[in-house]
Amino acid sequence: MTRFAGKTFWLVGASHGLGREVARQLDREEARLILSARSEDALQELTQELRHATALPLDVTDTYAVAEAARAAGPLDGVIYNAGAYEPMRTQDWDSGAVLQMSDVNFTGALRVLGEVVPGFVRQRRGDITLVGSLAGYRGLPASIGYGASKAALISLAETMRYDLKGSGVTVRLVNPGFIKTRLTDKNSFRMPQLLEPDDAARHVVAAMRTRRFRTDFPRPFSFAIKALGLLPDLIVYRGK
């Protein structure tokens, strides 16, 4: 079982929602936290609440800023990439700016952060990487231009890293939540099955981090339904379309 006390984790995407609750729960476990997000005010408010946290404001779309933040963070035991952007969007309503922003935050930002962190983990033959994806990354879904594709890319990245880093001493972990009640999902106008509160979702993430299991999908049975959809032939999925 992974123990958090005294270990330093860089949590990227910590200011609101799921990330904020993960920070609170890891702080109770006496982890040392470096908290990053774009909102400096929200980060400062959170660090004042916690016992073992330092704020490190960061825009993950800025390559230079990511490199500087990684240097400022110093030696790490683990990194959690939870930064996310979401706009519900159908193909007919394509907004290139919003699509590129989602892709840059959800996927390319992860590449920037991992590019600064992973080489050090490999050299020291230890490190803990947790990538927060989404069940939306398992299959193309309606009104998910930008978001679904970027999460699918993040899932593929995690799977590749899991292959490559086997036996390296570096743990790679993928956590795919369903719907979580946050300011992002508040944009949805449809019913969201098994909608979780952020603190409930954070408990799933922290529980996953206690183990070396690669993949954690939740909540059940919604995760089963989404993955089953991915197994159906296109003839059935797109029937009548």
pTM: 0.94
Average pLDDT over the chain, rounded to an integer = 94
181-190: long-range contacts, CB 8 A cutoff, minimum separation 24: 182/16, 182/17, 182/18, 183/16, 183/17, 184/17, 184/84, 184/85, 184/86, 185/86, 187/86, 187/87, 187/88, 188/88, 189/88
pLDDT number for residue 241: 57
From 81, 86, 138, 147, the catalytic residue: 147
With bands split at pLDDT 50, 70 and 90, how would you rate the model's confidence at 183? confident
Q: Summarize pLDDT for 73-110 with one digit per residue, the tens.
A: 999 999 999 999 999 999 999 999 999 999 999 999 99
Please report the pLDDT score of residue 36 as a whole number. 98
User: Which residues lie below 8 Å from residue 119, measured CB to CB, with a gap of 6+?
Assistant: none
CB atoms within 10 A of CB 41: 10
> How much is the average pLDDT of 18-28?
97
The verdict on whether 147 is a catalytic residue reads yes
**Could you report how far apart the first and last alpha carbons of the chain are, in Å?**
48
- pLDDT exceeds cutoff 90 at 50: yes
Q: According to the model, what pLDDT value does residue 12 have? A: 98
Report the percent of the chain where pLDDT is more than 90: 80
- For residues 148-160, average pLDDT: 97
- For 100-122, how does the pLDDT look when each residue is reduced to its tens digit (9 = 90+)? 999 999 999 999 999 999 999 99
**Residue 154 contacts residue 110 (beta carbons within 8 Å):** yes
Stronger pLDDT, 235 or 110, i.e. the higher one: 110
